[in-house]
Chains A and B, each alone.
Chain A
């Protein structure tokens, strides 16, 4: 067999006038882990969809295991031994692990009856062979995200896939789960499987991959051995210019306490304690970072701070904004005090996808007098404001940005810039609550948003930053609290943070210990 598992030869894919892939060529060695990196819209996903049979290329060839192939459908791809783990899992949660694994390929006995046992036996073989232990009769919905992902991988192995494509596989994993996944992938590669991994986390690429292909604007920029690459070189190749991975900032000079959270307990409608005696305070002119794995109470804290606890939840403790209690206030009342909020899920909570950019840039501020006329909106002022924000926050779109454009047409990073622009420029802003401010945002735009957040801090605004990215917390926060099971388990003071930031990798490990 040829030593090359996959060869992309001049793959081109157009959507209208837009080239999603432009003569992309590279090859992937059998038994290797090959990473494809690039910003949003660089064409990584399109390329993988072509390989998985979801798109047909307009030009170019795919050579799989030495043979030229036209992959017509995902079913065809699986036949050729190509399997894909999507970023959002394709699992049926109420079904058991076995049922999920055999779904679509059920073994049958006596012509009609499903032979579950056969699958279970096969599953045990695979589990043992690759060290992927799993309990077959558990329902998938009750498994952790890491185990669900394992089910996805087993599903592919069960179908005899030897080429595995993983789309952003670590986005939803805890640090420990990530470690386990990497171990699994390495052992899979060792026995001859080929792993293609799409990601934007450069650290992981360097740790995991044998080779890296970098894409930018639909083109393949370079393919290089991971051993000879650094984060900086990869970032430069991805963005096309030098990128500051850590923004420069001077020491914070904190002032009065703005936000004071004391001994908050939050029990949801099902009776689960989500926050358990959490206390913290944020002062004007500092960034307080909450580090933690998702699901440790961050979402509930955010809902509480923004006056939107779920129905049926019981809350005790106190939250004060400059000594004004805010528990029980509505979002609008809280905003009126000088608070603004970038929610964790932009699409769900912060923008209306089918509204224009100008409609979105005032969304939640649309009742400010400045934007209103006698009966409707003061369109002239609104457009002037929008144009100013678009240029100030460097919002870009492929066709040249216009306030009339649907926000859904913008890339994730640019949508986030619109939201950030809106929330950072609220009149009389005193407290900024940021949740996952750069999730799904390109490296180039991350730098930009970080800069703006630090600028806000330097204008004496208090910032509460919640992020699952430890790197982001370390590079932005002046003080750090580690959240675990609904409470701050450990707090690092300003001097501690300043000192430990000098060795970020070590600091990351330290933080990791307090959040798991």
Chain B
């Protein structure tokens, strides 16, 4: 009995430390690569950590980069609980951002932030949600797989946004939109508190935190979430239980679109104040990794997004010494190691 007890404790301990071990292993692999190109990994990693976690500015950058990843991570996680794989975060974020930038620019410059900020946020959410509703409609009406439609709509969104920036909302001769109304600027934490000086981290961070908590509560504490999980775990049984499964497919995808669309709030309202072509590219895809890494648990997504934010900005800080590609390998290795370790531990049990 005692022996079993210890074994259980050990396995619990291992369980908890598993992602950490996987991350360490990935860093070790990255270290080997750094040695291979003739640099000292201790020095490089040391520089990276001191420049990210060692300064207020660095921490601010990490948080700023984690913010959109929380949102796109949630945009994957919520439909995932209903058994859907939303790969369309990329397109939903792009559309949300362009709508946010366009509406933000159309607002009167004198409009109070109390109105302008909510309007900007709603615009971003509506943009993303409307894009996702196409996927939702095709899924519920015609049974088209959301995986296919969401991928294809990403490309459509790229093209549409490119067109809009070039011909509609852009400044001629550039690849960016005009600046949004001052009232819709999302305050930076720097300006509010003096923390994280000069870094672009802004109030969107708290919005993302609140939304992660909200998604968690909805999924695990409400009747809607109970039904949603039932739909994801056993669609047929859910239908037998009298659950309107299409409603959950529809709503979770549209909510996911709104979440991804809010990426625009962080980027346009909190950082650039305009949309520059390609500005939010990649966050949607990274969001898939963020969610998958933690089994789509809404609260753990916060940790996962932080890790990716750290890797993202960390790569930039050592750009002069080590090429960006090396660090992309480390990033990919983290994902692979964590997922492989999950499988390996499952087999050991």
The CA-CA distance from A372 to B236 in the complex, in Å, is 24
B221 interface residue, CB < 8 Å from A? yes
Query: How big is the B interface, by class?
Result: 10 to 19
Contact at B236–A364, with CB atoms within 8 Å?
Answer: no
B237 interface residue, CB < 8 Å from A? yes
The CA-CA distance from A414 to B334 in the complex, in Å, is 43
List chain B positions with a Cβ less than 8 A from chain A.
4, 221-223, 226-227, 229-230, 233-234, 236-237, 239-242, 244
The CA-CA distance from A16 to B240 in the complex, in Å, is 36
A132 CB, min distance to chain B CBs, angstroms: 37
Which 7 pairs show the lowest CB-CB distances between chains A and B?
A: A364-B241, A332-B242, A331-B242, A376-B221, A349-B240, A376-B222, A352-B233
A55 interface residue, CB < 8 Å from B? no
Residue from the list B227, B230, B233, B240 in contact with A306, Cβ < 8 A: B240
Chain A residues near B4: list those with CB within 8 A.
16-17
- The digit string for A328-363, where 1 denotes a CB below 8 A from any CB of B, is 001110010000010100001111111100010001
Chain A residues near B223: list those with CB within 8 A.
366-367, 372, 376-377
The CA-CA distance from A17 to B3 in the complex, in Å, is 11
Chain B residues near A354: list those with CB within 8 A.
233
Chain A residues near B234: list those with CB within 8 A.
348, 352-353
Query: How big is the A interface, by class?
Result: 20 to 34
B156 CB, min distance to chain A CBs, angstroms: 29
Contact at A331–B239, with CB atoms within 8 Å?
Answer: yes
Contact at B242–A352, with CB atoms within 8 Å?
Answer: no
Contact at B237–A366, with CB atoms within 8 Å?
Answer: no
The CA-CA distance from A173 to B233 in the complex, in Å, is 31
A308 interface residue, CB < 8 Å from B? yes
The CA-CA distance from A349 to B240 in the complex, in Å, is 6
Given contacts A16-B4, A353-B233, contact A363 B241 (CB under 8 A): yes
- The digit string for A309-333, where 1 denotes a CB below 8 A from any CB of B, is 0000000000000000000001110
Given contacts A16-B4, A330-B242, A366-B227, contact A349 B222 (CB under 8 A): no
Chain B residues near A349: list those with CB within 8 A.
236-237, 240
Contact at B222–A341, with CB atoms within 8 Å?
Answer: no
Chain A residues near B237: list those with CB within 8 A.
348-352, 363
A375 interface residue, CB < 8 Å from B? yes
Residue from the list A331, A363, A367, A376 in contact with B230, Cβ < 8 A: A363
Chain A residues near B241: list those with CB within 8 A.
331, 363-364, 366
The CA-CA distance from A343 to B242 in the complex, in Å, is 13
B44 CB, min distance to chain A CBs, angstroms: 44
Chain A residues near B239: list those with CB within 8 A.
308, 331
In the complex, what residue of chain A is closest to B230 when comparing beta carbons? A352
A220 CB, min distance to chain B CBs, angstroms: 27
Contact at B236–A359, with CB atoms within 8 Å?
Answer: no
The CA-CA distance from A352 to B222 in the complex, in Å, is 17
- The digit string for A375-392, where 1 denotes a CB below 8 A from any CB of B, is 111000000000000000
Chain A residues near B229: list those with CB within 8 A.
352, 355
Chain B residues near A375: list those with CB within 8 A.
221-222
Chain B residues near A364: list those with CB within 8 A.
240-242
Contact at B233–A335, with CB atoms within 8 Å?
Answer: no
Chain A residues near B221: list those with CB within 8 A.
375-377
- A sample of 11 cross-chain residue pairs with beta-carbon separation below 8 angstroms, ordered by A number, consists of A306-B240, A308-B240, A331-B241, A343-B240, A348-B234, A349-B236, A352-B233, A363-B230, A366-B226, A376-B221, A376-B223
Contact at A355–B222, with CB atoms within 8 Å?
Answer: no
The CA-CA distance from A353 to B230 in the complex, in Å, is 10
Known: A354-B233, A377-B226. 19 other contacts (CB 8 A): A16-B4, A331-B239, A332-B242, A332-B244, A348-B234, A348-B236, A348-B237, A350-B237, A352-B237, A353-B233, A359-B226, A363-B230, A366-B223, A366-B227, A367-B242, A372-B223, A375-B222, A376-B222, A377-B223
Contact at B230–A335, with CB atoms within 8 Å?
Answer: no
Contact at A331–B240, with CB atoms within 8 Å?
Answer: yes
A352 CB, min distance to chain B CBs, angstroms: 5
In the complex, what residue of chain B is closest to A367 when comparing beta carbons? B223
The CA-CA distance from A45 to B34 in the complex, in Å, is 54
In the complex, what residue of chain B is closest to A371 when comparing beta carbons? B223
Chain A residues near B230: list those with CB within 8 A.
352, 355, 363
Chain A residues near B242: list those with CB within 8 A.
330-332, 335, 364, 367
In the complex, what residue of chain B is closest to A17 when comparing beta carbons? B4
Residue with the greatest number of chain B CB neighbours at <10 A, chosen from A17, A308, A332, A352? A352
The CA-CA distance from A331 to B245 in the complex, in Å, is 12
The CA-CA distance from A372 to B227 in the complex, in Å, is 13
The CA-CA distance from A332 to B241 in the complex, in Å, is 7
1-25 of chain A: CB within 8 A of chain B:
16-17
Chain B residues near A335: list those with CB within 8 A.
242
In the complex, what residue of chain A is closest to B227 when comparing beta carbons? A366
Chain B residues near A366: list those with CB within 8 A.
223, 226-227, 241
A32 CB, min distance to chain B CBs, angstroms: 40
